[in-house]
Chains A and B, each alone.
Chain A
Amino acid sequence: NAGVMQNPRHLVRRRGQEARLRCSPMKGHSHVYWYRQLPEEGLKFMVYLQKENIIDESGMPKERFSAEFPKEGPSILRIQQVVRGDSAAYFCASSPGQGVHEQYFGPGTRLTVT
């Protein structure tokens, strides 16, 4: 059973470009979470999605950031018009349900904005 997959592992974008980060959850998992880890800081919750639904996006910046988890295919975190402050590691996690369930993390995508 493959773990959570994220790609790309490293992404370099110039200011103003768009960044698309992909996350394929573990087989059988329909709950996906996105987290951001800034340098020297802990992970911060961004958004929680189930298939085709955004359940909680209270951690998402109001502008430029969006997330989706379509019926088919991976979850996508999209950052439009990136700025230097968006440089961070973005982690995706998946779980089989809510409550006291294990969240399994992917290896992360390291975004660098030049």
Chain B
Amino acid sequence: KNQVEQSPQSLIILEGKNCTLQCNYTVSPFSNLRWYKQDTGRGPVSLTIMTFSENTKSNGRYTATLDADTKQSSLHITASQLSDSASYICVVSTTGGGNKLTFGTGTQLKVEL
């Protein structure tokens, strides 16, 4: 069964600090891994997409890593801001079948002053 697990479930950090979110997956056959940011009451917004051959990708203060051998990914947020408070969702796509996505339950991040 395809599964995506994320940790921690929730996290509180002070503004300006860095943090790293983790994702483990058992999805086959693997096509790509995505990280999304979802603000409360809004739809998810894509941060990064990585294919099998990519092991790191950055988008501003967000850097995602992928280890396809161990089936693990991380999302590192640098110099956090209050606006980073949101749910961060790890999503894995399988090959074929029309780009079907399997979602993790997300890490709820809160950035405080």
Contacts and interface: CB of A to CB of B under 8 A. Distances in A.
Interface residues of B, number: 24
Interface in B57-106: 89, 93, 97-106
Contacts of B97: 56
B51 interface: yes
A55 interface: yes
Interface string A75-86: 000000000000
A26 to B, nearest CB: 12
Contacts of A55: 98
B66 to A, nearest CB: 13
Contacts of A91: 43-44
Given A48-B98, A56-B97, A106-B43, A100 B103 contact: no
5 contacts: A43-B103, A45-B101, A102-B46, A105-B43, A105-B44
B88 to A, nearest CB: 12
Interface string A87-99: 0000101010011
Chain B interface main SS type? strand
Given A43-B44, A105-B45, A107-B42, A100 B32 contact: yes
A81 B51 CA distance: 41
A45 B102 contact: yes
A108 B36 CA distance: 15
Interface string B27-59: 000011000100001111110010100000000
Interface string B5-39: 00000000000000000000000000110001000
